[in-house]
Amino acid sequence: MKESVYEVSSSVETIVSFSQQQVQNIGQTSSQSQEVAAIAEERSVGAEEVNAVIKEQLYLMKEVSNVAKYLAEQAEQLKFTIQRFKL
């Protein structure tokens, strides 16, 4: 009977030790998951900032294109006006 108690006691100690290790592993996994979530949030914010910059650049490129078209039209009108003064 003493041996049975010893075996049960030993098994309980093994189970307790294993359970404590599992709790520690779960804590580490939880901590790592929180770190991954924080990194993902930072990446998301960064991606949104990049997207905003790209949209702004596209807008500015359209503005430059519009100005270039306007200047081309003005140059054409100036060319026509200058031709009237040629002898």
pLDDT at 21: 94
Query: pTM of this prediction?
Result: 0.56
Query: Which amino acid does the sequence have at 73?
Result: E
pLDDT tens per residue across span 15-65: 999 999 999 999 999 999 999 999 999 999 999 999 999 999 999 999 999
Please name which of 33, 52, 53 lies closest in space to residue 41, comparing C-alpha atoms: 33
Supply the DSSP string of 8-76, one letter for each residue. Answer: HHHHHHHHHHHHHHHHHHHHHHHHHHHHHHHHHHHHHHHHHHHHHHHHHHHHHHHHHHHHHHHHHHHHH
pLDDT at 5: 75
